[in-house]
Structure 1
Amino acid sequence: MVIFSSHRLSSFYTNSLLILASICICGVSSDGGLYSAQLATSSPRHADREIVFDRIGLRGEHNLRCKPNTSYVWCLPPDYNQEKHPFSYFHLVNKSLPWDYEFRFVIEEISNINDKAQTMSVSMYFAVSWLEPRLQINESAAEWYEDRTGPQDQVNESPDSLKYIWYPELEIYGLEIFGRQRVLKEMSGVRIRKNKTINYELGVRITISCRMNFDDYPLDAHTCQFQVGSYYDTFETVTCTSHFIYDAERQRNLQHFILIEELPERFQTVPLPSGKYAACGFQVRLERKQMQYIVQVYLPTLLFVVVSWVSFLIKPEVVPGRMALLVTLFLVLINIFNSVREQAPISSRLNAVDLYLVVCIFLVFGALIEYAIILLLLKKRRKPRRTIDEGLKNLFNGDANQPLERRKPQSAGGVGEDESVGNGISAEDSHLDHTVPATNNRASKQSHQMMKHNDSLSAHKQALCDNIDAWSLWLSPPIFFTFNLVYWIAYSVF
Structure 2
Amino acid sequence: MISIRPFGLGLWSLLAVSMRLLLRINTVLILMRLVQAQLFEDPWDQLDQCSCSNEDADVPVGFLSLVGGALKVPRDYNKNVQPPGKPTIVDIGFIVNDVLEIDDDAYSVTLKMEMPMYWNDSRIQFNTTLLDQVSPNRWLYIDPNWKDDLWFPSLVVQNMQEFKTITSIKSNEKLMITEIPDKRFHYVAMHLIKFTCGLKFDFFPFDIHLCSMKVHLDSPVEELSLDFFHGSHLKWGWANTTTILDYGIDFEPLSIEALLETNTMFNGITYQKSISGFVVKLSRKVSVYLFNYFIPSGLFVVVSWVSLIIPPDAVPGRVALIITTFLVLVNIANTVFSSSPTADTINPIQVWILACIVFVFMTVLEYAYILFMMRRVKRHILMANNLKKNKPRKSSKVYTTEETPKISTLSSARTHSLTSPIPEHDYVDCGTVKEFLTDGAKNNRMSNIRRRLEVIRNRFLDWRSKVRSALSPILDDLLDNFQPDDTNLQLLMANTDFVFFWIMIMSFMIFNIIYWTYYTL
Same fold (TM over 0.5): yes
SS of 2:188's equivalent? Answer: strand
The 3 A distance-change label for structure 1 pair 237 and 47 is closer
Larger radius of gyration: 2
Distance 1:198 1:429 in 2: 125
Distance 1:117 1:251 in 2: 20
Distance 2:371 2:54 in 1: 97
- Stretches of structure 2 that go unaligned for 5 or more consecutive residues are 1-42, 61-65, 266-270, 394-401, 407-460
Distance 2:54 2:478 in 1: 117
Contact 1:52–1:158 (CA under 8 A) maintained in structure 2: no
For the pair 1:234 / 2:220, whether they are aligned, the reply is yes
For the pair 1:357 / 2:353, whether they are aligned, the reply is yes
Contact 1:385–1:447 (CA under 8 A) maintained in structure 2: no
For the pair 1:487 / 2:475, whether they are aligned, the reply is no
Aligned-residue offset at 1:155: 1.9
Aligned-residue offset at 1:456: 5.0
SS of 2:116's equivalent? Answer: strand
Q: Specify the alignment match of 2:500 in structure 1.
A: 472
Distance 1:127 1:357 in 2: 48
The 3 A distance-change label for structure 1 pair 191 and 303 is same
Q: Specify the alignment match of 2:117 in structure 1.
A: 128
For the pair 1:216 / 2:203, whether they are aligned, the reply is yes
The 3 A distance-change label for structure 1 pair 344 and 483 is same
Of the structure 1 ranges 331-340 and 275-284, higher mean CA displacement relative to structure 2 is found in: 275-284
The 3 A distance-change label for structure 1 pair 235 and 447 is farther
Q: Deviations over 1:50-96 (max 9, x none)?
A: 7759xxxxxxxxxx9xxxxx98322111211222222xx21xxxxxx
Q: Deviations over 1:406-427 (max 9, x none)?
A: 99x9xxxxxxxxxxxxxxxxxx
- Stretches of structure 1 that go unaligned for 5 or more consecutive residues are 1-34, 54-63, 65-69, 91-96, 392-402, 410-427, 433-438
Q: Specify the alignment match of 2:259 in structure 1.
A: 268
Q: Specify the alignment match of 1:417 in structure 2.
A: none
Aligned-residue offset at 1:326: 1.2
Distance 1:177 1:430 in 2: 101
Aligned-residue offset at 1:272: 3.6
Aligned-residue offset at 1:342: 2.3
Corresponding residue pairs, total: 392
Aligned-residue offset at 1:39: 6.1
2:142 equivalent among 147, 152, 157: 157
For the pair 1:79 / 2:86, whether they are aligned, the reply is no
The 3 A distance-change label for structure 1 pair 85 and 478 is same
Amino acid at match of 2:318: R
Of the structure 1 ranges 372-381 and 207-216, higher mean CA displacement relative to structure 2 is found in: 372-381
Distance 2:131 2:223 in 1: 34
Q: Specify the alignment match of 2:344 in structure 1.
A: 348
Q: Deviations over 1:260-289 (max 9, x none)?
A: 232232332334433432211122222222
Contact 1:108–1:246 (CA under 8 A) maintained in structure 2: no
Distance 2:162 2:292 in 1: 34
Amino acid at match of 1:120: V
Aligned-residue offset at 1:175: 0.8
Aligned-residue offset at 1:464: 5.4
SS of 1:145's equivalent? Answer: coil
Distance 1:338 1:290 in 2: 20
SS of 1:49's equivalent? Answer: coil
Amino acid at match of 2:250: L
The 3 A distance-change label for structure 1 pair 43 and 121 is closer
Give the aligned CA root-mean-square deviation in angstroms.
Answer: 4.1
The 3 A distance-change label for structure 1 pair 478 and 116 is same
The 3 A distance-change label for structure 1 pair 320 and 186 is same
**What's the % identity of the aligned pairs?**
26
Amino acid at match of 1:198: F
Contact 2:140–2:177 (CA under 8 A) maintained in structure 1: yes
Q: What are the equivalent positions in structure 2 for 1:38-57 lying under 5 Å apart?
A: 45=52, 48-49=55-56
Distance 2:404 2:161 in 1: 108
Aligned-residue offset at 1:113: 1.5
2:153 equivalent among 163, 168, 185: 168
Of the structure 1 ranges 208-217 and 254-263, higher mean CA displacement relative to structure 2 is found in: 254-263
Q: Specify the alignment match of 1:325 in structure 2.
A: 321
For the pair 1:104 / 2:93, whether they are aligned, the reply is yes
Q: What are the equivalent positions in structure 2 for 1:295-334 lying under 5 Å apart?
A: 295-334=291-330
Contact 2:98–2:239 (CA under 8 A) maintained in structure 1: no
2:163 equivalent among 164, 178, 187: 178
The 3 A distance-change label for structure 1 pair 431 and 217 is closer
Amino acid at match of 1:181: I
Contact 1:108–1:247 (CA under 8 A) maintained in structure 2: no
Contact 1:297–1:336 (CA under 8 A) maintained in structure 2: yes
Aligned-residue offset at 1:404: 9.9
Q: Specify the alignment match of 2:133 in structure 1.
A: 145
Contact 1:43–1:73 (CA under 8 A) maintained in structure 2: no
Amino acid at match of 1:295: F
The 3 A distance-change label for structure 1 pair 404 and 304 is closer
Aligned-residue offset at 1:145: 0.9
Provide the TM-score with structure 1 as the length reference.
Answer: 0.68
Aligned-residue offset at 1:301: 1.4
Amino acid at match of 1:251: T
Q: Specify the alignment match of 2:235 in structure 1.
A: 245
Distance 2:403 2:149 in 1: 136
Q: Specify the alignment match of 2:451 in structure 1.
A: none
The 3 A distance-change label for structure 1 pair 219 and 404 is closer
Aligned-residue offset at 1:429: 9.2
Distance 1:354 1:480 in 2: 16
Q: Deviations over 1:195-251 (max 9, x none)?
A: 2632222211111112222222222222222111112x1333322123552585733
The 3 A distance-change label for structure 1 pair 101 and 349 is same
Aligned-residue offset at 1:328: 0.9
Amino acid at match of 1:48: E
The 3 A distance-change label for structure 1 pair 364 and 451 is farther
Contact 1:118–1:212 (CA under 8 A) maintained in structure 2: yes
SS of 1:250's equivalent? Answer: coil
Distance 1:264 1:235 in 2: 17
SS of 1:191's equivalent? Answer: strand
